[in-house]
Amino acid sequence: MNLEQVATPLGSSPQRFFNRELSWLEFNARVLAQAEDPHIPLLERVKFLAIFSENLDEFFRVRVAGLREQLLEGLDAVTPDGRTPRQQLDQIDERVNGLVDRQARVFVSEVCPALDEAGIRFPDWTSLAPEDEQWLGEFFLEHVFPVLTPLAVDPSHPFPYISDLSLNLAVVVRDPVDPEVDGDRELRFARVKVPPSLPRFVRLPDGQRFVAIERIIGAYLDRLFPAMEIVGCYPFRVTRDAELDVDDEEADDLLEAMETVLRRRRSAGRTVRLEVEPGMAHDVLELLIEELELERSNVDEISGPLGLSGLWEVYRLSRPELKDPLWEPLTAPELHGIAHHGEFFNVIRRRDVLVHHPYESFTTSVEAFIEAAAADPDVLAIKQTLYRTSIPESPIVTALMEAAAAGKQVVALVELKARFDEVANIRWARALEQAGVHVVYGVLGLKTHAKLSLVVRQEGGTIRRYTHVGTGNYHPRTATIYEDVGIFTADDAIGEDVSDLFNSLTGYSRKRRYRRLLVAPTTLRDDLLRLIAAEAARPDGRIVCKMNSLVDPAIIDALYRASGAGTQIDLIVRGICCLRPGVPGLSEHIRVKSIVGRFLEHSRIYAFGPDPLQPRPRPRAGESVAPSLTRRRGRRYYIGSADLMPRNLDRRVETLVPVLDRRLRQRIEAILNAALADDCLSWLLGADGSWERVPGGGAVNSHLDLQQQALARAHRRTSTSGVMT
C-alpha cells in the first residue's frame, strides 16, 4: 500500500483504518508465533497451539458467521476501512489458509520432533508394539465402542445433523454380497461422530505417548461395520454459527428465552467451516460440501490432526521441566495477616488497595472481600456483577448465597449473554435465586460488562460503602492466567456512584452523570474524547493506554488529531488495533505495541497527562501559551472494564474508575512502564499493518519484571514487619 495515499486529511479516507477482522487474525498469528519460538518451554509451545486453535474456532463461530449472515441476507454494508462482507471473507480465507498451514507445519515438523526427544510421542499405528495394540483394542471395546453410533446415509436415511465443533469420521463401505454393476459393487456412506466425552488424544499406559482418538476408531471400524468391506475412512470437523439471536426487549422471561436460544444453538446454526485431512475422496468431500451447504472456499485442508485444541491433554502432563516455572500468586502486602473479617474493611477504610493479578492473589483479595462481607454481622448489603463465572465451584457465588441465608440484602446482576458462558451463568442465576439472592439481568438491549462489587456496612451511627472495581471477571481460574488490576476503596464519591449505577441497573433511572465513574453507554465515549482533546491542547500532551482492542473510529480519529497537535501517544493493544500508527501527517506521534506471553494481557488502563518525571516544556519560539495550559498537573489514571470498541462504548454497561491514591498511581505507572520497556514479549505495529518483534537484546520481560515487583513488595513488608508473606 502506498503510504502517501494514507496520509490524507482526516475523515476523507477509509485507509486510515485497519480492518477489524484481519487485525484479529494478526493477533492470532502472534499467538502462533509463541508456538514457533524454540526459546519457549516445549509444553508451553503445545499450549499456544491449543490456544491458537480455540481462538480460530471462536473467530469462525462469531465473526465469520456474522459476515456470512450478511451475505445471505443480501446486506452489503461497508466497514470503516472500506471493505464489503465478500471482500472481507475472501481476505480472511486467504490469511487463514496461510495460518493453518503454519500451525500444521509447526506441530508436525517442529513441536512433535522436540516432544519425541523429550519422550512424549505421537506414534504411528504401524509403529505400535503388539502390547500397545492389545491395550488400545481393550480400551476401544470398553470405553469407545459402547458410545459410538454409526449413521448410514442413503435414500431411507437422510444426512445427519453434524454438531458444532464435532470431530467425525466419514466412512465409505462396500457390502460384499451386493451384486456387481460394471464390475464393482455399490459404495455406501456412513458418518461416525466422535463423542466429546472421549479424550482427543488417548494416553498409553506409559503416560508419555498419545494416539489420536480417530486413529483408534479407524483401526477398529470392522467392529462397527461387521462383514462389510472398509473402502475409506476420512476425519472431518465442522464449525457452526454460534452467535445468539435473542430479543430481550420482547422476551417475557429473559432466562427462559436464553435457555431456548441455547437449545437452538445446539441443534441449528449454519455451517461456516469444514476441516478435512488431505486425501479425502473427491466424492465424499463433494457430499459434505453439498449437505452442509458450503462453498469450496469454506473448506480448510489440514495437514495434521484436526482440532488441536485437544492438545490441552498433552499440556497437562506432569513435566514441570518443560513448562514455565510455577508462579504462586502472592497475597497483597496490605491484605496479609488479616485474621478477622472486620479487619478487611479496616484496611480499605484507611487507604485504597490495588491488587494486580495474577502476580497477586485473587483468592486472598477479591474472594476474601466478598467472603468477609458475607460473614461480617455489620454488613447490611452486597451488590455484585457477574459476567463470567466458574464451574463447578464459584467461591464468590457461594459467599453471596451464604450472605443471603444470613439475612443480608444481596443483589447479583448476572449477565446471561456472556458469550460461551451462558450455560454456567444460567445455572448460577437459578442457584442464587433459590438461595434468596435478588437476581437481575441488566438493562434491556445492553450487556453488563462492568466489574463491580459493593458492600454496605453499618459502622456506629453511619453507613459506609466499600467498593471493588476491576478490569477482570470474578473468575478464580482465569485470575491465575489473565493479567488484571482491581481497586478496593472506601471513597465516598465512588461508593455513591457505584450505588447509583446498581440502582440504574436494577430499577428505573435516567441518571447519566456520575461523580467519579466514567460510565458507558451514557457518557464514557464523550469523557474519553474530552480527555484526549485536553491532551491535544497542551504543549506537553501525553497519552498512554493499555487495552485489549482499539476499534472505535471516533476514538481513533481523536487520537489522530491529538497526534497532529504533537501529543505523544503510546498504545499497548493486545489484540485488535484498527489505528494505523506512524504515518506522516496522520499518526507520526503514535506508537502501537502488543504483548503476547505467558499471561493474557487483559487489564484496561488509560493515562492522560505528562510523564511524571518529564520537565515542563517551554513554549515554542513565537508561541503564546495560556498559563492554564502550562500549569503543572499530575497524570490522570483510569482503570476499568471497557475496551475502545463501539460495542463497549455504545452497547454495554462499562465503567472506568479514577486512581486517586498517590501510591496506587505509582503502581499503575510501574505497570505501564514495564509494558513500554518490554523487548521480549512485544511486537510493534507498522504503518503498513505488519507486526514485527520489538528489536533489542531481550533485556526486559514484563511478566518476569512484574513478578519481581510483586516479590519486592512482599519482601519490603516482611522486612518492616518481621512477618513472612
Let me know if 597 is exposed, middle or buried by CB neighbors in 10 A (0-12, 13-18, 19+). buried
Residue 438's beta-bridge partner residues?
411
Q: What angle do CA 82, 602, 346 make, to 5 degrees?
A: 140
> CA 136, 160, 256: angle at the middle one, nearest 5?
105
Nearest C-alpha neighbor of 374 from the set 453, 487, 479: 453
Is the four-CA dihedral 688, 691, 692, 693 of positive or negative sign?
A: positive
Q: What angle do CA 695, 700, 702 make, to 5 degrees?
A: 115
Grouping H, G, I as helix, E, B as strand and the rest as coil, residue 79 is coil
* Spatial CB neighbours of 615, under 8 Å, sequence gap ≥ 6: none
CA angle 74, 76, 82 (to 5 degrees): 165
Which letter, b or e, does each residue of 173-192 get, where b requires 16 or more Cβ atoms within 10 Å of its Cβ?
bbeeeeeeeeeeeebbbbbb
Q: Is 449 a catalytic residue?
A: yes
Which entry of 449, 475, 602, 703 is annotated as an active-site residue?
449
In our burial notation (b when 16+ CB lie closer than 10 A, e otherwise), range 432-453 reads beebebebbbbbeebbbbbbbb
Place of cell 495394540: 133
Cis peptide before 476 (omega within 30 of 0): no
- Alpha carbons 681 and 615: distance in angstroms, whole number: 30
Q: How far apart (Å, rounded) are the C-alpha atoms in residues 512 and 719?
A: 47
Three-state secondary structure along 671-700?
Answer: HHHHHHHCCCCEEEECCCCCEEECCCCCCC
- In angstroms, rounded to a whole number, what is the distance separating the alpha carbons of residues 133 and 130? 5
Chain position carrying cell 472500506: 82
* DSSP secondary structure letters along 398-414: HHHHHHHHTT-EEEEEE
CA nearest to 165, candidates 64, 60, 87, 88: 60
Query: Containing H/E element for 271?
Result: strand 271-276
Looking at 551-701, list the stretches that DSSP marks H as alpha helix, in order from N- to C-terminal side.
553-564, 627-630, 646-650, 662-677
Q: Per the structure block, which three cell numbers stand in for 140?
A: 476401544
Catalytic residues: 449
